[in-house]
Amino acid sequence: MMFAALEINWDVWQTLPGRTLETLGQTLLASLVVLLIGLPIGVLVHVTEPGGLRPQVVVHRITTFIVNVGRSVPFIVLMFLLIPVTRWIAGTSIGWRALSIPLAIGCIPFFARIAENALRGVGKGKVEAALMVGASRLQVITGVLLRESLPGLVGGITVTEVTLIGYSAITGAVGGGGLGSLAYNYGYSRYMFDVMIIVTVVFFVIVQVVQMAGDLAARRLDHTR
Amino acid sequence: MITLTDLRKVYPSPDGDVVALDGIDLTVDRGEIHGIVGPSGAGKSTLMRCLTALERPTSGTVAIDGVELTGLAQRELRRQRRRIGMVFQHVNLLDARTALDNVAYPLRIAGTPKAQARARALELLDLVGLADRGGSHPAYLSGGQQQRVGIARALAADPAVLLCDEPSSALDWTTTRQVLELIKQVRDRLGLTVLIITHEMSVVRQVCDSVTLLSRGRVAQHGSLRDVVTDYGTTLARDLIPLAATPVGDKRAQLEVSFSSADFAVADVLALLVELNALAGVESGTIESLAGERVGRFQLDLKAGDATQVIDRLRGFGLHVEVTR
Tell me: the pLDDT tens digits for B8-47? 999 988 888 889 999 999 999 999 999 999 988 888 989 9
Q: Hey, is the C-beta of B177 within 8 angstroms of any chain A C-beta?
A: no
Is residue A134 within 8 angstroms of chain B, CB to CB?
yes
Tell me which of B208 and B72 has the higher pLDDT: B208
- Please write the tens of the pLDDT for every residue from B181-206: 999 999 999 999 999 999 889 999 99
Phi, psi of B11 (to 5 degrees): -100, 120
pLDDT digits (tens, 9 = 90+) for B150-179: 999 999 989 999 999 999 888 888 899 999
Indicate which of B49, B90, B92 best probes the interface with A, i.e. most A CBs within 10 Å of its own CB: B92
What integer pLDDT is reported at residue B143 of this predicted model? 92
B100: contact with A, CB 8 A cutoff: no
- What pLDDT shows up at residue A17? 94
Query: Considering only CB atoms, which chain B residues are within 8 Å of A125?
Result: 88, 90, 92
Q: What is the arithmetic mean of pLDDT over B109-115?
A: 94
How many pairs of residues across A and B have Cβ atoms under 8 Å apart?
Answer: 68
How much of chain A exceeds pLDDT 70, in percent? Answer: 98
pLDDT at residue A5, rounded to an integer: 59
CA–CA separation, B125 and B99 (whole Å): 8
As a whole number, mean pLDDT of residues B106-128 equals 95
CB-CB under 8 Å, B153 with A225: no
What rounded mean pLDDT belongs to chain B? 91
Distances (CA, A) of A138 to A39, A94, A99, A142: 14, 40, 35, 6
**DSSP 8-state class, residue A174:** G
In this complex, is the C-beta atom of B76 within 8 Å of any C-beta atom belonging to chain A?
A: no
What residue of B is the nearest CA neighbor of A218? B96
- pLDDT tens sequence across A146-167: 999 999 999 999 999 999 999 9
pLDDT for res A1: 43
* pLDDT beyond 60 at B320: yes
ipTM above 0.90, yes or no: no
Instruction: State the pTM of this model.
Output: 0.87
A223 vs B109, B139, B153: nearest CB: B139
pLDDT tens digits along A94-126: 999 999 999 999 999 999 999 999 999 999 999
What's the pLDDT band for A9 if we cut at 50, 70, 90?
Answer: confident
Chain A, nearest residue to B138 by Cα: A224
Residue B62, pLDDT score:
92
Q: Tens digit of pLDDT for each residue in B94-109?
A: 999 999 999 999 999 9
Q: Is A96 helix (H, G, I), strand (E, B) or coil?
A: helix
CB contact under 8 A, B82 and A134: yes
Nearest neighbour of A134 by CB, restricted to B88, B96, B110 = B110
In this complex, which of B106, B137, B138 lies closest to A133 when CB atoms are compared? B106
Give the span between the Cα atoms of A113 and A135, in whole angstroms: 26
Which chain A residues contact residue B88 at CB under 8 A? Answer: 125, 128-129
Tell me if A131 and B79 make a contact (CB, 8 A cut-off). no
The minimum CA-CA distance between B78 and chain A, rounded to whole Å, is: 4
pLDDT confidence bin for B72, thresholds 50/70/90: confident
Substitution target from B105, B124, B146 for chain A, most A beta carbons within 10 A: B105
- Which residue of A139, A150, A225 is in closest CB contact with B109? A139
A144/B54 touch (CB, cutoff 8 Å), yes or no = no
pLDDT of residue B16: 86
Confidence bin at A63 (pLDDT 50/70/90): very high
pLDDT of res. A147: 96
Contact of A138 with chain B, judged by CB distance below 8 Å, is answered with: no
Average pLDDT, chain A: 93
Distance from CA of A107 to the nearest CA of B (A): 28
List of residues 6+ apart from B297 with CB closer than 8 A: B241, B243, B256, B257, B258, B285, B286
| Contacts with B137 from chain A: Cβ below 8 Å | 223-224
Q: Mean pLDDT over residues A68-82, rounded? A: 93
Note whether B96 contacts A: Cβ–Cβ < 8 A: yes
Q: Are A174 and A128 in contact (CB under 8 A)?
A: no
CA distance A160 to A30: 11
pLDDT 10s digits, B130-154 = 999 999 999 999 999 999 999 999 9
Residue B291 is predicted with a pLDDT of: 79
* Residue with more model confidence, B174 or A33: A33
Q: What is the pLDDT of residues B235-279, one digit of tens each?
A: 898 888 888 877 777 788 899 999 998 888 889 999 999 999 888
Given a cut of 90, whether residue A133 has pLDDT beyond it is no
